Amino acid sequence: MSKPKDSESNGVYTVILILVFSPLLFIFLGKDKDGRGIGDLMSSTGFPTFLFIASLVFGVIIYYNITYKKSQKKWTSGVFSNNQAYSEDALLQAYIRLGALMLRQDTSDLKGKLGYLHRYFEQHFENSYAKDLSTSLNGAFHNPVELKAITPWLKTNLRSTSQRSQLLYFLAGLSAVDGSINPREKRYLLQLADELDITRKDFDSIMAMYTRFEDAFNNQQKQRRAPSKSRSQYKREKAAKVLGISAIASIDEIKKAYRGLAKVHHPDRFAGESESQQKIAEERFIQIQLAYELLLEFKN
């Protein structure tokens, strides 16, 4: 990823200034067919009005140039304002910065991870999807925000565990694009969970959703050892971790764990939230339901 550049935007403003003020220079420096020059023009009755309009145009161009540079600086400086009000755009900024921090933990399969980010934001933030997403990600990647500088805003505006856990769900999915979550990525996720007051039980549940139950089984086969567990056993253990219970939990314990997670993560809790938040909640709850149904199937 390369740093975003302002050269193109500066070039556009330069061209605008030339196009607007070149004719003015010809007017001031040239003479008409009657031999009248700049002195005659300045003494004319319409000159003050002309000067006011020209100054206004010039001022507007300068204002937008400065405003654009300030907005670009915000994207590239790593700063995230904790004073801004909650909005889809503000939440998207938070997701972009956290996603960039995750990319910095492991840049393997960067193309695949960037594709994940684009798809995720298009699907879940379609109403506030940034057209300059690549520029925003570049700025956030090369000028990372401090994690502790962004979590206060998240805790203030995402008050429920359900909402905050969606961030971990998103980031765990990003880290798992290359097939695994390495120790550095897991430390980052655990640090974020601690900052957002997400319990270790909830954290382990989210991690379990991205742990492929086949991995340990396949590794034993590669080492030409007899698997100590079957595929179904590994699958059962993963489902139990998603629900936060033991793999040998009773039916009553399974149902109790499911009801507890349903109270926190059911999509109905997001009925008053944005459409993007509802979609994320639905995806996570599907994983919880699948784990619940799988464990009941094993018991029966």
Is residue 1 in a domain?
no
Q: Residue 191: count other Cβ atoms within 10 Å of its Cβ.
A: 13
pLDDT in the model for residue 201:
84
| List of residues 6+ apart from 62 with CB closer than 8 A | none
C-beta of residue 276 within 8 angstroms of C-beta of residue 88: yes
pLDDT in the model for residue 3:
35
Both structure tokens of 127: 């109403």
| Residue where one domain finishes, among candidates 61, 77, 93 | 77
- DSSP per-residue string spanning the chain: -----SHHHHHHHHHHHHHHHHHHHHHHHS--TT---HHHHHTSTTHHHHHHHHHHHHHHHHHHHHHHHHHHHHHHH----TTSPP-HHHHHHHHHHHHHHHHHH--TTHHHHHHHHHHHHHHH-TTS--TTHHHHHHHHHHSPPPHHHHHHHHHHH--SHHHHHHHHHHHHHHHGGGS---HHHHHHHHHHHHHTT--HHHHHHHHHHTS-THHHHHHHHHTT---SS-HHHHHHHHHHHHHTS-TT--HHHHHHHHHHHHHHH-GGGGTTS-HHHHHHHHHHHHHHHHHHHHHHHHH-
Q: Residue 189: count other Cβ atoms within 10 Å of its Cβ.
A: 23
Q: What's the total number of domains in the chain?
A: 3
Cα separation, 179 vs 275, whole angstroms: 29
19 and 61 part of one domain: yes
What percent of the chain stands above pLDDT 70?
67
| Residue where one domain finishes, among candidates 17, 45, 77 | 77
Q: Residue 272: count other Cβ atoms within 10 Å of its Cβ.
A: 7
C-beta of residue 172 within 8 angstroms of C-beta of residue 120: no
Q: Is 216's pLDDT higher than 50?
A: no
| Residue where one domain finishes, among candidates 172, 207, 242 | 207
C-beta of residue 112 within 8 angstroms of C-beta of residue 178: yes
190 and 102 part of one domain: yes
**Tell me, what CATH number does 224's domain have?**
1.10.287.110
71 and 150 part of one domain: no
pLDDT in the model for residue 194:
95
Is residue 155 in a domain?
yes
pLDDT in the model for residue 298:
83
Average pLDDT rounded to a whole number, residues 19-33: 55
What pLDDT digit, counting tens, does each position of 95-139 carry?
A: 999 999 999 999 888 889 998 898 888 877 876 655 567 888 888
Q: Is 192's pLDDT higher than 90?
A: yes
Q: How many CA atoms lie within 13 A of 234 on its CB side?
A: 15
Q: Is 189's pLDDT higher than 90?
A: yes
Cα separation, 177 vs 179, whole angstroms: 5
18 and 60 part of one domain: yes
Q: Which domain holds residue 132?
A: 81-207
What percent of the chain stands above pLDDT 90?
14
What pLDDT digit, counting tens, does each position of 163-177 carry?
A: 888 899 889 889 888
What pLDDT digit, counting tens, does each position of 221-254 carry?
A: 555 555 566 667 777 888 888 888 888 889 999 9
C-beta of residue 137 within 8 angstroms of C-beta of residue 99: yes
Residue 185 binned pLDDT confidence (cut-offs 50, 70, 90): very high
93 and 173 part of one domain: yes
Q: Sign of the CA dihedral 111, 99, 66, 3?
A: negative
pLDDT in the model for residue 153:
92
